[in-house]
Structure 1
Amino acid sequence: MAVTQQEIENRLWDAADELRVAMPEAQYASVIFPLMFWKYLSDTWDYHHQEFLAENEGLESLTDDEAHEIEYRDYQSFDIPFVSSGAGHYSRASWSAVLGTVTQPRLGQRVRTSLQAIETANPDKFSRLFGSMTWTSEEVLSNEVLAAVMRAMNRTPKMHEGNMSFDVLGGAYEYLLKRFSDGSGTRAGQFFTPREVVELIVEVLEPKAFESVYDPTCGSGGMLIASANLLKAHGGRGYSLRLFGQEAVPDTAGVARMNLFMHNLTDFHIEVGDTLKDPRHKKPDGSIAQFDVIMANPPYSLKWKPWSKDPRAIGGVAPQALADWAFVQHMMASMTPTKGRAGVVLPHGVLFRGGTEAAIRQRVLDDDLLEAVIGLPPNLFYSTTIPTAILVFRAPGCKAPERQGGVLFIDASMRFIKSKKRNMLTKEDIADVVAVYHSKFNYDDVISSGGGGLAARLVPTAEIVANDYDLKIGRYIKQTAATQEDLGALIEAYRLARAERRKAEQVMLSVLADAGIEGFDE
């Protein structure tokens, strides 16, 4: 019987709810995600082990080493090793083995030993995956509470591909992320960007099959996963993307790695460290690695130690109290020269603040690197109520010809619905903004929705220069601007053109497939 999304989500939340007597909801993620991933690994290993036994008769004629070689060559993609259980006895570092000992003292110590053993046995896949594991201490989480959490989680259906799809498993992980964020208040902003904002950025940048995607402040990995999901939704192969990220907080980096695995995305590289101080993705010559698509929601107005000498400092160095433009500079330096594009969410201050930030802005505009500024509604995020904007950049010379020498401004600040704790973008809001972004513009166009809520204009750089490189959205478009072109008609024309293109592609692929030519859908 197929496992429903609702069933697994309810069971997992029941397990998380056992923590209410021991810690605030803001700390649930540090316990639940390692336990959930451990159970997933154990269930998956057991499932493939049973396959191995069922499909290989005569194992008694093989040595232990020979049987091990066959199993790990043909069935297993990771190892769950044996650990000492005392008095010369050994047991596998699996969920089921430790679950059978929950009534015994020092449960947390056994959990920690098992998780560390899995990390050590799989250094290429799971190094530092489970984070600091401070919750395994009896002082943090009592034996009784940890046992209750594990028993409740054990009522979750088996987490392996024979029992549930990765869509269900990944969806459950996303459900917990959002639920923990809803209950964590501003702390959630450290690792979770609202999914509708992520979807908007990904739709704007449009990752393609076999491209590299990079998030320099990756949090829980949501933007990387959304990139693969979008490609899959458009008929491509999400797993063909090469995913890269860096995260300053080790426990959060572990959450991201587990999140990617839960979504069956294994071609990824998540590094731990301060991206501005110590970028970990490098070329062999030591320079910054470059990627096709870069997206981020970095911490806003972060205090940092400014660079004294760094090739990323195009146009100057961001002030010590405001690292916003430093993150942008890092992202621009990370764009591949032939097709690199980047999207970043930042507070409106980056659009108009003076000093060295103004100098950086001037250089970016003079080099024609900024493609678009998309103004978002206030109170979209868990960590702040201020309005923000998405800035979209293209590598030198990579803008569409009609957009060279200008910046597209889109004001979507009035497009939202109110929810209990924050504002939200609807699917229609996202689709309309994306349609406007991908539409063709002339410099004379000022478009606006008749009922208000969305307006856009392609502004020549010369006009921005005349305004001392000020990028405040209100300088260039007004929500009350006269409609020179109907926005609804523009969006509809874009959607029809996109549908026709996809239809033509399907016909082409069908003809090629009939001729025995495959692989073009990648």
Structure 2
Amino acid sequence: MTVTQQEIENRLWDAADELRVALPEAQYASVVFPLMFWKYLSDTWDHQHEEFLADNEGLNGLSAEEAHEIEYRDYQSFEIPFIRPGTVQQRRASWSSILATIAQPGLGQRVRASLLAIETANPDKFSRLFGSMTWTSEEVLPGEVLAAVMQAMDRTPKMHEGNMSHDVLGGAYEYLLKRFSDGSGTRAGQFFTPREVVELIVEIVDPKGFESVYDPTCGSGGMLIASANLLKSHGGRGYTLKLYGQEAVLDTAGVARMNLFMHNLTQFQIEVGDTLKDPRFKKPDGSVAQFDVILANPPYSLKWKPWASDPRALGGIAPQSTADWAFVQHMIASMDPKKGRAGVVLPHGVLFRAGQEAAIRQRVLDQDLLEAVIGLPENLFYSTSIPTCVLVFRAPGTKVAERRDGVLFIDASKRFTKAKNRNIMTDADIADVVSSYHSTFNADGSPVHPDGSGGLVARFVSLNEIRSKGNDYDLSVSRYIKQAATEAEDLGTLIDAYNLARAERQITEERMRKVLSAAGIEGFDE
């Protein structure tokens, strides 16, 4: 049967909603995603197993070992083993097998044993996939609630390729991510970046086929998936990208791995650890690995333990109070020297804060590594209402000629639509920003084909102007396109003031005519 996107989303949310009696919505993801992925694996394994049996009816006298070898060579891409093999409690670590025991005590223990068995049997693919699994404890999630969630999720149609496409599966996963983020307040930022911000950054860094893409703070893996989706939408093959991510939170790293699998992306590596303290992707000489494309939405103004010394510390070491520039330094060090480019979203403070951050900013600019600064609207994110900006970097000497010795500034702060919980940027807003990014500019820095409508203004600013006295390496967007923004604002103010003054004048003149008429004075000319 054909499964609609709406149907699977509704069923999955019904399952998640069973958790309301036991957990806050911010914790739904840690339960629902492992269960959903377990069901997906089990449904897929069962489907392939049925095909194997149909194609090898009777198995023609094969031994169990021979049948196993053929099945896993020609039909299965992963193994779902038995738990407690050789005992009376032996059963396959599959969804349907454990669901059959749902009324028995110790459900959480059996679920945990099954997920661990799958991880152990598939170390190259599923190592630490399901996270900490603390929710399998009866003290965290009562067995009757876990049973209700599983029963509700079991009403979801079979999640295998013969029944639904990976586009539907991936879309359902993204739907849940967004739904959980809408309801989970500040915690949402740790695993979900709004779609429009992801798409904007990915459009600008523009991954090509067979390139490497790296997200040092990957959360749920949305930027990596968006890179593959963009390449596919442009007629390329998204699965050719080599995807890499590092995430500090074990459970969130598991969410990312499951997300990638659900989108049929298997050429990836997600590592767990603190990227600043312990970068997991390295060259044989111990230096950080380098990639073609780097994109990130790191935690803003994170307090951290600064490096004592580190090769990544270009221009100095970021202050303990905020690691924003440390993440940028890591990304710069991780850019491939021939064609590396990076896009990162950060708070506006990185553009103008003094002290150690100013020293780093100066070195980055003097080496001509910063290509663009894009000011975004406020209240775009689930975790903060502050306005943010996208910084775009290029490896040393790789800027195109017309972008050298300068920085492109784009003010997109007014390009948004108000929604229920936050502001959003539409597809048209994103397209206009990307178009401005790809524009050519006159000698004075203005676009050759200007289009400042709707609060979008762009200007290419020379490094000499940024260095000049009074600017002193400050990168505030309003400093360099202030005139255009002020003119637009003043025009609106003048129109409002004119209309108000005109109305007040008309009222005053009407009163004056009445007074003059009462005094017998005629012929007053309006």
Same fold (TM over 0.5): yes
Q: Which amino acid aligns with 2:461?
A: V
Partner Cα separation in structure 2 for residue 352 and residue 444 of structure 1: 24
**1:89-109 Cα distance to aligned partner (Å, 9 max, x none):** 411000000000100001000
Find the counterpart in structure 2 of residue 511 from structure 1.
Answer: none
**1:465-493 Cα distance to aligned partner (Å, 9 max, x none):** 0111000111100343779xxxxxxxxxx
Find the counterpart in structure 1 of residue 304 from structure 2.
Answer: 304
What is the 5 A alignment of 1:124-135? 124-135=124-135
What is the 5 A alignment of 1:207-356? 207-356=207-356
Give yes or no for the alignment of 1:476 onto 2:480.
Answer: yes
What is the deviation of 1:184?
0.2
Find the counterpart in structure 2 of residue 118 from structure 1.
Answer: 118
What is the deviation of 1:85?
7.7
What is the deviation of 1:56?
1.9
Find the counterpart in structure 1 of residue 457 from structure 2.
Answer: 455
Q: Given that residues 314 and 329 in structure 2 are in contact (C-alpha distance below 8 angstroms), is that contact kept between their aligned partners in structure 1? A: yes
What is the deviation of 1:148?
0.5
Partner secondary structure for residue 274 of structure 2: coil
What is the deviation of 1:444?
1.3
What is the 5 A alignment of 1:159-170? 159-170=159-170
Give yes or no for the alignment of 1:138 onto 2:138.
Answer: yes
Find the counterpart in structure 2 of residue 174 from structure 1.
Answer: 174
Could you tell which deviates more after superposition, 46-55 or 408-417?
A: 46-55
Q: Given that residues 446 and 482 in structure 1 are in contact (C-alpha distance below 8 angstroms), is that contact kept between their aligned partners in structure 2? A: no
What is the deviation of 1:452?
4.0
Q: Given that residues 445 and 461 in structure 2 are in contact (C-alpha distance below 8 angstroms), is that contact kept between their aligned partners in structure 1? A: no
Q: Given that residues 452 and 480 in structure 1 are in contact (C-alpha distance below 8 angstroms), is that contact kept between their aligned partners in structure 2? A: no
Partner Cα separation in structure 1 for residue 267 and residue 443 of structure 2: 42
What is the deviation of 1:55?
1.4
Partner Cα separation in structure 1 for residue 137 and residue 443 of structure 2: 63
Q: Given that residues 446 and 477 in structure 1 are in contact (C-alpha distance below 8 angstroms), is that contact kept between their aligned partners in structure 2? A: no
What is the deviation of 1:65?
1.0
Q: Given that residues 446 and 455 in structure 1 are in contact (C-alpha distance below 8 angstroms), is that contact kept between their aligned partners in structure 2? A: no
CA RMSD of aligned residues (A): 1.3
Partner secondary structure for residue 245 of structure 2: strand
Partner secondary structure for residue 458 of structure 1: strand
Find the counterpart in structure 2 of residue 148 from structure 1.
Answer: 148
Could you tell which deviates more after superposition, 396-405 or 442-451?
A: 442-451
What is the deviation of 1:182?
0.1
**1:211-256 Cα distance to aligned partner (Å, 9 max, x none):** 0000000000000000000000111100000000000000000000
Q: Given that residues 207 and 293 in structure 2 are in contact (C-alpha distance below 8 angstroms), is that contact kept between their aligned partners in structure 1? A: yes
Partner Cα separation in structure 1 for residue 33 and residue 116 of structure 2: 15
Partner Cα separation in structure 2 for residue 184 and residue 387 of structure 1: 20
Partner Cα separation in structure 2 for residue 312 and residue 71 of structure 1: 48
Partner secondary structure for residue 243 of structure 1: strand
Q: Given that residues 242 and 267 in structure 2 are in contact (C-alpha distance below 8 angstroms), is that contact kept between their aligned partners in structure 1? A: yes
Q: Which amino acid aligns with 1:370?
A: L
Q: Given that residues 416 and 426 in structure 2 are in contact (C-alpha distance below 8 angstroms), is that contact kept between their aligned partners in structure 1? A: yes
Find the counterpart in structure 1 of residue 510 from structure 2.
Answer: none
Partner Cα separation in structure 2 for residue 66 and residue 441 of structure 1: 68
Q: Which amino acid aligns with 2:477?
A: I
Find the counterpart in structure 1 of residue 10 from structure 2.
Answer: 10
Partner secondary structure for residue 276 of structure 2: coil
Find the counterpart in structure 1 of residue 157 from structure 2.
Answer: 157
Q: Which amino acid aligns with 1:121?
A: A
Q: Given that residues 296 and 343 in structure 2 are in contact (C-alpha distance below 8 angstroms), is that contact kept between their aligned partners in structure 1? A: yes
Partner Cα separation in structure 1 for residue 239 and residue 100 of structure 2: 36
Find the counterpart in structure 1 of residue 509 from structure 2.
Answer: none
Partner Cα separation in structure 1 for residue 485 and residue 141 of structure 2: 57
Structure 1: stretches of 5+ with no match in the other structure: 484-522
Q: Which amino acid aligns with 1:472?
A: S
**1:53-82 Cα distance to aligned partner (Å, 9 max, x none):** 111245141111111111111111100000
Q: Which amino acid aligns with 1:141?
A: L
Find the counterpart in structure 2 of residue 519 from structure 1.
Answer: none
Q: Given that residues 214 and 244 in structure 2 are in contact (C-alpha distance below 8 angstroms), is that contact kept between their aligned partners in structure 1? A: yes
Partner secondary structure for residue 310 of structure 2: coil
Aligned residues: 483
Could you tell which deviates more after superposition, 156-165 or 278-287?
A: 278-287
Q: Given that residues 242 and 268 in structure 1 are in contact (C-alpha distance below 8 angstroms), is that contact kept between their aligned partners in structure 2? A: yes
Q: TM-score normalized by structure 2? A: 0.90
Structure 2: stretches of 5+ with no match in the other structure: 489-526
Larger radius of gyration: 2
Find the counterpart in structure 1 of residue 358 from structure 2.
Answer: 358
Q: How has the CA–CA distance of structure 1 residues 465 and 450 changed in structure 2, closer, same or farther, with 3 Å as cutoff?
A: closer
What is the 5 A alignment of 1:50-129? 50-84=50-84, 87-129=87-129
Identity of aligned residues (%): 79
Partner secondary structure for residue 31 of structure 2: helix
Q: Which amino acid aligns with 2:13?
A: W
What is the deviation of 1:273?
0.1
**1:102-149 Cα distance to aligned partner (Å, 9 max, x none):** 000010000000000000101111111101111101111111111110
Find the counterpart in structure 2 of residue 34 from structure 1.
Answer: 34
Partner Cα separation in structure 2 for residue 256 and residue 35 of structure 1: 14
What is the 5 A alignment of 1:356-395? 356-395=356-395
Find the counterpart in structure 2 of residue 399 from structure 1.
Answer: 399
Q: Which amino acid aligns with 2:485?
A: T
